[in-house]
């Protein structure tokens, strides 16, 4: 896998915590790593990377979340209308595109 450059500490911490949480969920469900990897259509090595908090493709992570029954809550957690700002602005018109002012382009 190519180098990732600078990864913020909070992101690295989140990767490790999510990996630990997924491993715990797998164990609580009584599933082996091999079972989850097979059901997710990924290699056992990729699952090991996920559980150890190492970088993987988002598709692999989402497949594991689906197998563990955690996909929908994760998707719902990213719903902007469940954030404080989203709730406050829910009744405002949401633009289809965000445009950068002409003078800020190319910086």
Q: Domain residue spans in the chain? A: 9-89
Extract the tokens encoding 5.
């450059």
Please write down the HEC assignment for all residues of 18-44: HHHHHHHHHHHCCCCHHHHHHHHCCCH
Which CATH code fits 9-89? Answer: 1.10.260.40
Whole-model pTM: value is 0.77
Cβ contact 60:68 at 8 Å: no
Predicted confidence (pLDDT) at residue 1 exceeds the cutoff of 60: no
Condensed to tens digits (0 to 9), the pLDDT of residues 9-29 reads 999 999 999 999 999 999 999
Condensed to tens digits (0 to 9), the pLDDT of residues 43-101 reads 999 999 999 999 999 999 999 999 999 999 999 999 988 888 888 887 776 667 777 87
């Amino acid at each position: 896998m190519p180098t990732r450059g600078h990864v913020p500490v909070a992101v690295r911490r989140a990767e490790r915590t999510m990996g630990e949480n997924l491993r715990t969920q797998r164990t609580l469900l009584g599933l082996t790593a091999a079972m989850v990897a097979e059901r997710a259509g990924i290699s056992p090595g990729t699952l090991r990377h996920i559980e150890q908090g190492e970088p993987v493709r988002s598709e692999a992570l989402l497949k594991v979340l689906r197998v563990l029954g955690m996909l929908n809550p994760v998707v719902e957690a990213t719903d902007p209308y469940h954030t404080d700002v989203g709730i406050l602005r829910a009744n405002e018109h949401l633009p289809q595109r965000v445009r950068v002012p002409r003078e800020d382009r190319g910086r």
